[in-house]
Each structure stands twice: as structure tokens, then as C-alpha cells.
Amino acid sequence: MPENVVILGGGIAGLTTAYALAKRGILARIIEARHHLGGLVASGHVGGIQLDLGAESFALRSSVICELCDELGLPYRTPAGQSWVWNDGIATPIAHGLWGIPSSWDDHAFQVLTDDELEIAHRDRALGPRVGSDSTTLAELVRVRLGQAVLEKMVEPVAGGVHTASPDDLDLDTVCPGLRDAIQREGSLISAVHSIRGNSAPVLAQPVGGMSQLVRALIERLKRFGTQIDTGLIVTDIAREGSEFEILVAESDGNRSNPKPVPGTEEILNADRVIMALSGSSALPLLNKFPEINFEWEAPQGAAITTASLILNNSLLDEAPRGSGLLVKPGSAMRAKALTHYSIKWPWAYETLSKIHGPSTHVVRVSYGRPDEPVQIPSPSDVLSDASRLLSIELSRTDLLDCRIIHWGPSLSPHSPEHRNHLESLKREIALIPGLDVTGAWIAGTGLGAVIPHAYEIGENLE
Ligand SMILES: Cc1cc2nc3c(=O)[nH]c(=O)nc-3n(C[C@H](O)[C@H](O)[C@H](O)COP(=O)(O)OP(=O)(O)OC[C@H]3O[C@@H](n4cnc5c(N)ncnc54)[C@H](O)[C@@H]3O)c2cc1C
């Protein structure tokens, strides 16, 4: 049984690994730079309720998160309301399927195509399994099987919006695991997506009360197990001396967005086993300190993201004019990239808010930041005006009860084919260092559906 295990990073990856270990009777020590845990699964008080500010849902592609929620006593729900793609004032339904690729030829999302574009897409049925089998990116596959129009009008708004990267930069096997094999089996892309997704099975879910309930429940359970959690400690250096790791840590200056070490507060921690569950920008410089590891590349940086959460009181919002929300087609005359009508998508939020502020109180989240666009930090008035246009209703300053704007910077690493190759050689080098494991979104894949199962598996299998 491993002893003296230290987990670097108390985001969802670090907490999940710690929990899987604790269940086996292995009590790790978590070191987290910030004074709060959960990393990008962040929450805060807005409009008098605890609201997700970062991640708000998980993909149902693996059963691990559902099982984790069940174990922790967290009920979860799939989203209410249809979601849309918005293109200069015209909204069309988002395909039910995978990253905007429909799982059926009857999907309403095809209505965005012209007759000629639809005819090109229909060729997928007759192309056979080999066409696109050598594609490395999501864009290549969609372009060659369904045509450029499907890529631009249906896939790019969804995949590009969620990954904050162009589909030309998204590694096919990382963002669509199993799809390549399914095409070989099914003979067409649409049938392959159908075999993975089914016709109408939901693809997302959220614990009732928000994604941050998972963080809260994990922390509570870890404390009950007796796992030591140290917040406000930044890891600044690491080395392996004999069979032990020496980890240099320093107190954090308390800065919420970019904590820095306070000089003169350094101390050395020793560990037999280290699990790095840091962001890529923190993990890579530390990994490069090991003589066995040698690389010169940097993790690719996604677009700088800004999110604005608005608490609004306006009865026109009760009609859910754009269902659970929309993704904006790149190239539209609109600076926002997405809008989530959170209180429609997740009804607990509406119920909780209406108890405090009365009926017709809603949460609307507007997101900004696309690759290769200058960083935009909108004002509350900008956000209100963007939300009004996207929802096609007039929202005014008097409707606005509260607003929280957060600039996340380039927080997500797009998983490009180049990054995937880099990771493959890095993983071989990491395997040369006994006692070291690495997890987190930059290595596991963006999104909780990839991050949590990866982190859990490390905790379950650590020897
Ligand atoms: C606005 C936004 C919305 C999102 N929405 C969704 C969504 O709806 N669904 C979804 O699946 N995904 C979503 N994501 C992505 C998802 O949140 C991340 O993939 C996931 O939370 C990453 O978890 P992690 O533990 O790997 O990394 P992080 O959350 O980045 O955790 C790393 C932790 O390490 C700590 N750390 C860093 N450096 C050091 C150091 N030197 N010493 C000590 N500690 C350190 C950090 O403070 C942090 O707590 C969203 C992301 C953002 C930014």
C-alpha cells in the first residue's frame, strides 16, 4: 500500500484522485495554491445564491461521474430546454449528437443548410468507411464526409465554442474517442454518431444545486476520511532524491486569480508518491525539472475566456426565448460566443432564486473569447445588450439584480494533434520516474467527462 502520497493541486482532478485513494484507505495530502478548492469548477455568491461560475455540467460519456454522484448522495439531472446555434439573429436547433454532428438524418439542425449543402452532406451515406479514416482533426473528418457547410454552420459553433479552439486544432481521437472505429463499423459518420449517442439520449447532466456540489461533497467526504488538505501553499520546485520526492512549497500571497509565492516562507515537503493534478501551465515547468524529462514545447493556449453571470428579473424570460441557451456561429456580428439560460436549463436555480426575489427571476450566463480574437472584458451594459440581442427581448438596467464578470484567461488547453504527440512522448518520460503520476485537463482532455475518470483511475490503481 503506498504511503506518504502528496497530491499537487486541489482542482476537481486532485480532489477526485484523493477521494479514490481515501476509499482504499490511502490518505493523501493535498497541496493547493489558492485558498479555495475546486479550481475551474468554481462557484460564488451571485444574486444571493451559490452559483456555478466555471464548469456547470458534465458529459455523460462515461458512467464514472454518475457513479461518483450516486456514491456522494448527489442527485443529478439532465438539462431542460432545447439549445440553439445563433447566426446573425437567426437561431437554429443544435444537433443532437456529437459536437454538432447529428446522430440522425431527421435532425432539425440540418435545416440550417441550403439544398445543395444538404446534398453534399448526404454523400456520407455512400462514401463507405474508408473516407476520412486518416483524418487527424475533427474538422478534417467533418469536411471530407459532410462538407464545409456542416463544419462551419453546425460543428464549429458547438465544438469551437466548448473547446475555445477551432475544430481544425482539435485532435479527432481525443475529442471523439471511439468515433473512428464506429465509422469503420457503421460505414457512415451519421450512423457512427448514432451508435455512440443514440437518437435522443441526453449528453449532459448536473448535480442538483450546481456542478460545485460535487466539489463540496468531495471536500466533505475527504475531511471525514481524514485526508489532509493544505490550501494557500504554492508548489515552486520538485526533485527526486533517492527514493523520495522533495517538494518546495511557499505560502501564497492570496491573489485569487494569479497567486504568487511569498518570499521567505519556503519549506520542503517529502513524499514517497506524487500525483500532479495541476493546470498545464504549472505542471510543465515542474516536470521539466526532472533530468529524465526533456522537452521544449509549451501546452497550447486556448482563447482567453470571460464569463458574465446576470441575475435578471423580467417576465419575458419565463418564456425561455432560446431554451437552455445558444452558441454563436463564429463570424456573426456578435462579440459574445455563447449564452446559457441557466435558470431554464437547471430548474433548481429558478426555484431557489424565486424564493428570494420572487417570480420571473433568472440567471443568464454570457461567455466571451474566441481563438485569435483580442481579449474582451465586457462591461455589465455590454453584457445586457448582448443578452438582449441573443434572446430577442429588451433587457434594461432596471431588470438587473446582480452581475458577476470573471476573466479566466486562457484556461483551457486545446487538444491538437501536435499536443497529443507531445503528450505521448511526455507520458513515456513520466513513466521513467518511479512514484510520479500526472493528471488534470491538460493531459486527460478538456471537460469533466475526460478529467474525472482519468483522475479517478489514478487513485483506484495507484500501487
Ligand atoms: C468558464 C469555464 C467553463 C467551463 N465549463 C465546463 C463545463 O460546463 N463542463 C465541463 O466538462 N468542463 C467545463 N470547463 C472545463 C473544466 O472546468 C476543466 O476541464 C476542469 O475543471 C479542469 O480541472 P483540473 O483539476 O484538471 O484543473 P484546475 O481546475 O485548473 O485545477 C488545478 C488546480 O491546481 C492549482 N495549482 C496550480 N498551480 C499550482 C501550484 N504551483 N501549486 C499548488 N497548486 C497549484 C490551481 O489553483 C487549481 O486549483 C469549463 C472551464 C471554464 C474555465
Per DSSP, the residues of 274-289 read: EEE---HHHHHHHHTT
Cα of 279 from ligand 1 centre, angstroms: 7
Cβ neighbourhood burial of 343 (10 Å; 0-12, 13-18, 19+): buried
Atom of ligand 1 nearest to the CA of 31: 43
Cα separation, 179 vs 379, in Å, equals: 41
Atom of ligand 1 nearest to the CA of 13: 25
pLDDT at 427: 96
- Note whether 300 and 416 are within 8 A (CB): yes
Q: Ligand 1, atom 26: nearest CA belongs to which residue?
A: 440
Cα separation, 296 vs 284, in Å, equals: 10
| Residue 268, strand partner residues | 248
β-strands 233-241, 267-271: how paired?
Answer: unpaired
Cα of 42 from ligand 1 centre, angstroms: 8
Q: Ligand 1, atom 14: nearest CA belongs to which residue?
A: 55
C-alpha cell of 183?
Answer: 465509422
Nearest to 280 by CA among 129, 161, 411: 411
Cα of 396 from ligand 1 centre, angstroms: 33
Distances (CA, A) of 368 to 100, 340, 343, 387, 404: 20, 12, 20, 12, 14
Q: Ligand 1, atom 2: nearest CA belongs to which residue?
A: 54
- Note whether 293 and 362 are within 8 A (CB): no
Cα of 152 from ligand 1 centre, angstroms: 28
Alpha helix ranges (H) inside 291-379: 342-345, 347-357
Q: Ligand 1, atom 49: nearest CA belongs to which residue?
A: 39
Cα of 247 from ligand 1 centre, angstroms: 22
Cα of 40 from ligand 1 centre, angstroms: 3
Cα of 146 from ligand 1 centre, angstroms: 34
pLDDT at 341: 98
**Length in residues, the chain:** 463
Cα of 318 from ligand 1 centre, angstroms: 32
Write out the DSSP string of 395-438: --GGGEEEEEEEEEES------HHHHHHHHHHHHHHTTSTTEEE
Atom of ligand 1 nearest to the CA of 259: 47
Cβ neighbourhood burial of 3 (10 Å; 0-12, 13-18, 19+): exposed
Q: Ligand 1, atom 31: nearest CA belongs to which residue?
A: 11
Cα of 442 from ligand 1 centre, angstroms: 9
Atom of ligand 1 nearest to the CA of 211: 8
Q: Which amino acid is at 104?
A: S
Side-chain half-sphere CA neighbours of 308 within 13 A: 25
Cα of 39 from ligand 1 centre, angstroms: 4
Write out the DSSP string of 53-122: SS---EETTSSHHHHHHHHHT--EEPPPS-EEEEETTEEEEPPSEETTEESSTT-GGGGGS-HHHHHHHH
Side-chain half-sphere CA neighbours of 434 within 13 A: 7
Pocket perturbation via mutation, ligand 1, pick of 15, 34, 40 by most ligand atoms within 8 A of CB: 40
Atom of ligand 1 nearest to the CA of 40: 29
pLDDT tens digit at each of 463 positions of the chain:
888 999 999 999 999 999 999 999 999 999 999 999 999 999 999 999 999 999 999 999 889 999 999 999 999 999 999 999 999 899 999 999 999 999 999 999 999 999 999 999 999 999 999 999 999 999 999 999 999 999 999 999 999 888 888 999 999 999 999 999 999 999 999 999 999 987 778 889 999 999 999 999 999 999 999 999 999 999 999 999 999 999 999 999 989 888 999 999 999 999 999 999 999 999 999 999 999 998 988 888 888 999 999 999 999 999 999 999 999 998 899 999 999 999 999 999 999 999 999 999 999 999 999 887 887 789 999 999 999 999 999 999 999 999 999 999 887 878 899 999 999 999 999 999 999 999 999 999 889 999 999 999 999 999 9
Q: Which residues line ligand 1 (CB under 6 A)?
A: 8-14, 31-34, 39-41, 54-58, 234-235, 277-279, 282, 305, 307, 408, 411-412, 440-441, 446-449, 451
Cα separation, 79 vs 375, in Å, equals: 30
Alpha helix ranges (H) inside 171-249: 172-175, 179-186, 189-197, 212-225
Atom of ligand 1 nearest to the CA of 12: 25
pLDDT at 301: 81
- Note whether 334 and 26 are within 8 A (CB): no
Atom of ligand 1 nearest to the CA of 58: 11
Q: How much helix, strand and coil, in percent to the nearest 5, is found in the chain? A: 40, 25, 40
Cα of 232 from ligand 1 centre, angstroms: 16
